[in-house]
């Protein structure tokens, strides 16, 4: 079996997560997480904090939205606003969203992650 080292060219992968936090680039982000290539990870305030998500228009093709420990719907108006700016939206539980973000980031995709922490 051949193993290849994964290199991330324009973003930082999620290193881990736990109850109420995410670890990315060796730093801990408490609460929600917003990360996209070419940007420093920041705390995301949740579904009511749409402005930083909408600001990703033109820099990401798809935004993965982690809904916490379990998959759940996001507010319809948030999804509509994101899609109107040209951002594709994929909803999943936060652990799956983190893993998917890392894989797509390693492929050089223009991907963003907005994730609520697991409880």
Domain residue ranges of the chain, discontinuous segments joined by +: 20-115
Radius of gyration, alpha carbons of the chain: 14
Q: Report, as an integer, the average pLDDT of 76-89.
A: 98
**What confidence tens digit (pLDDT) does each residue in 83-95 have?**
999 999 999 999 9
Q: How far apart are CA 2 and CA 33, in angstroms?
A: 33
Protein fold of 20-115 = Hypothetical Protein Mth938; Chain: A, (3.40.1230)
Q: Which residue has the tokens 């994964």?
A: 6
* CA neighbor of 7 nearest in space, from 96, 108, 95, 99: 108
pLDDT at 7: 58
pTM summary value: 0.92
Q: What is the pLDDT of residues 6-44, one digit of tens each?
A: 555 678 999 999 999 999 988 999 999 999 988 999 999
């Amino acid at each position: 079996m051949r193993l290849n080292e994964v290199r991330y060219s324009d973003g930082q992968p999620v290193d881990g997560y736990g109850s109420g936090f995410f670890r990315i680039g060796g730093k801990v982000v408490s609460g929600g997480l917003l990360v996209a290539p070419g940007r420093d990870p920041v705390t995301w305030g949740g579904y009511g904090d749409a402005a930083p998500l909408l600001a990703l228009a033109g820099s990401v093709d798809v935004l993965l939205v982690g809904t916490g420990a379990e998959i759940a719907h996001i507010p319809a108006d948030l999804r509509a606003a994101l899609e109107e700016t040209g951002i594709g939206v994929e909803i999943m539980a936060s652990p799956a969203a983190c893993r998917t973000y890392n894989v797509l980031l390693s492929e050089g995709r223009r991907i963003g992650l907005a994730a609520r922490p697991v409880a």
